[in-house]
Structure 1
Amino acid sequence: MQQTWVSVNALCRPLVESLVRDAAALRLKISHLGGVTLVDAGIEARGGLEAGRRIAEICMGGLGTVTLSQSSLTPAWPLRVNVHATDPVLSCLGSQYAGWSLAHGQGKGAFYALGSGPARALSRKEALFKELGYQDRAETTALVMEVDRLPPEELLLRIAADCGVRPEALTVILTPTQSLAGGLQVVARVLEVAMHKAHELGFPLERVLDGSGSAPVPPPAPDFITAMGRTNDAILFAGQVHLFVAGPAAEAEELARRLPSSTSRDYGKPFAQVFKDYGCDFFKIDPMLFSPARVIVTAVDSGASFQFGRLDEALLARSFGA
């Protein structure tokens, strides 16, 4: 099946420009380091949910819509973030996925972050882009980092060089997990985690035609592990995703059966506790855990739909501190 790609960086450019232009209204702080534009969405600036919503759309490469609404799916936590991607493969895996590993320095003062957003498609540092067969070209770009301190200038200049753009053409958006903006942009990855797991399960990506998802907005927490746990649990215990796929109905059913988070050996307690139980080592956690609680997969060729998993309000309450 022939794939026609668009430029995620070109689609994102007006979104990034709008974010910077509206910084004061969004309670963001704009600064510059080495020529790179930095957008602080929760370190020294207050930020907020609307900032997080806009940042999530930037992460999705301009191919996704992110909205907030009240829902009865989780009565105790009615505010939900809703995500739809017109091209789930490119939007979620080619842009939104936090797959670019970034590091500078050694020892106690070392800086480490995972980068997400359209800049990934310029640098192509990940093997995933060879599999997708996608490389973007653009004169401006943006990268999102889930960090609580400013990155060093040397790292910013290296990112710009890896993307093939001038430092002045790079915007880096900083979103601490403990902030409202940071928490929301993580939960807005509910569709992306489903796409990533589908890829890990070996489902042909070219057969994923469309998709949407939603998850509750978690309350923030002052410490990183609790905040990180809540953003993950919003998806693991109360995230819901609907994928539309081509191909045999039996294969759509098998995908739906294997996608929910409850199929993981590590399912059953708040993520912060799972993380601590493994000595705060992400690599020891079952990768199959990172997926929505409930999934619907529709086989568009036959019209059949398959639903597996369930929302777990009791585990969500334990995580959210209710």
Structure 2
Amino acid sequence: MNLNRRALAFCESLVDQAAELRVGISRAGGSRIIDLGIEARGGLEAGRRMAEIALAGYGEVSFVPHTLTGGPGVMVRTDAPLEACMASQYAGWEVKGTKYFAMGSGPMRAVAAREELFEHLGYREVAGHVVGLLETDKLPPAEVCHDIAQKCGVADQGVTLLVAPTHSQAGTVQVVARSVETAMHKLHELGFDLSRVESGWGIAPLPPVAADTLAGIGRTNDAILYGGHVVLYVRGDQASIDAVGPKTPSSASSDHGRPFKEIFAAYDHDFYKIDKQLFSPAVVELVNLDTGITRRYGEFARYVLESSFAG
């Protein structure tokens, strides 16, 4: 398994169809920038492909009806949840530059391996070309691309970055496609051995595209926190599953029940001050492939979604 090599192949397919997908291709200091919603228009399909690249091509993303809202939902499934969701999709890299900030995700993280998380995953990659995603409303300058290249040990020309703001069609889709990833990360925070997770399936409602970044962050988080449903297929002893299960959904947090925009403001718009117990889907099912026992935890909160999505 090589996350960056596979993601790069998906990028080439996207570039080949850039015009019909309404994405822009440019260079910054030699690095390739794929714009899916900042200066380019992007769209739903661009967002779906961006989400699959975030998973390094080891998961499938599709649009389906969401029964809770009656509108579209974003469904994701993967048989490599540890690698696809945690070593690639998780937005664990704070990308910074002069007056520049973005949340970084994608398989480039597995090459840089700058996060403590990789010590627990036991996964690291060497690659000549890395692929990353930046959640941002500004195109990255050359200095930022160069910094990423250095931290990954590649030439500037060996970096491909996909960029989109949260308040764009593509950006909204790729964030909402993180339902399985949030459940996996929650289990990690609870000390559960992620190597026991064989497969993951998730769905969350696709909110209306917001007018600005803060509203976009609020709606996309609410989609997962209050409307997300994830099923994880695990192995091993049932007692350990029963021990973490009730703590897994977002309702385990005391902040649960308010729109994320309100919660975010209450913590000075600092993700790292918010209770970590909040970041998980509304409903999580844990299916034990060894015992055949299924446990379901959490609850949906339609009233929060209606308030959030209405504006």
The alignment's TM-score, normalised by the length of structure 2, stands at 0.97
Q: After superposition, where does 1:51-66 map in structure 2 within 5 Å?
A: 51-66=46-61
Are 1:25 and 2:20 an aligned pair?
yes
Q: Distance in 2 between matches of 1:10 and 1:151?
A: 22
Q: Which residue pairs with 2:80 in the alignment? A: 87
Secondary structure class of the residue paired with 1:148: coil
CA shift, 1:250, in A, is 2.4
Q: After superposition, where does 1:257-268 map in structure 2 within 5 Å?
A: 257-268=246-257
- Contact preservation (8 Å) 1:255, 1:297: no
RMSD: 1.2
Q: Distance in 2 between matches of 1:135 and 1:262?
A: 33
Secondary structure class of the residue paired with 1:17: helix
Greater alpha carbon shift after TM alignment, 50-59 vs 274-283: 274-283
1:110-169: CA deviation from partner (whole Å, max 9, x where unpaired): 211221001111111112112222111222221100000111211101211222222222
Q: Which residue pairs with 2:136 in the alignment? A: 147
Greater alpha carbon shift after TM alignment, 116-125 vs 131-140: 131-140
4+ long deviations beyond 3 Å: none
Q: Distance in 2 between matches of 1:95 and 1:280?
A: 25
Q: Which residue pairs with 2:270 in the alignment? A: 281
Q: After superposition, where does 1:70-219 map in structure 2 within 5 Å?
A: 70-72=65-67, 74=68, 76-105=69-98, 110-219=99-208
CA shift, 1:279, in A, is 2.3
Q: Which segments of 5 or more consecutive residues in structure 2 lack a partner in the other structure?
A: none
Q: Which segments of 5 or more consecutive residues in structure 1 lack a partner in the other structure?
A: 1-5
Greater alpha carbon shift after TM alignment, 289-298 vs 135-144: 135-144
CA shift, 1:284, in A, is 2.1
| AA of the residue aligned to 2:103 | L
2:32 corresponds, among 31, 37, 42, to 37
Q: Distance in 2 between matches of 1:70 and 1:101?
A: 33
Q: Distance in 1 between matches of 2:188 and 2:119?
A: 14
| AA of the residue aligned to 2:96 | A
Q: After superposition, where does 1:204-283 map in structure 2 within 5 Å?
A: 204-283=193-272
Q: Distance in 2 between matches of 1:305 and 1:127?
A: 31
- Contact preservation (8 Å) 2:231, 2:284: yes
How many residues in Structure 1 have an aligned counterpart in Structure 2? 311
Q: Distance in 2 between matches of 1:302 and 1:59?
A: 32
State, as a whole percentage, how many aligned pairs show the same letter: 45
- Contact preservation (8 Å) 1:256, 1:308: yes
CA shift, 1:9, in A, is 1.0
Secondary structure class of the residue paired with 1:194: helix
CA shift, 1:219, in A, is 0.4
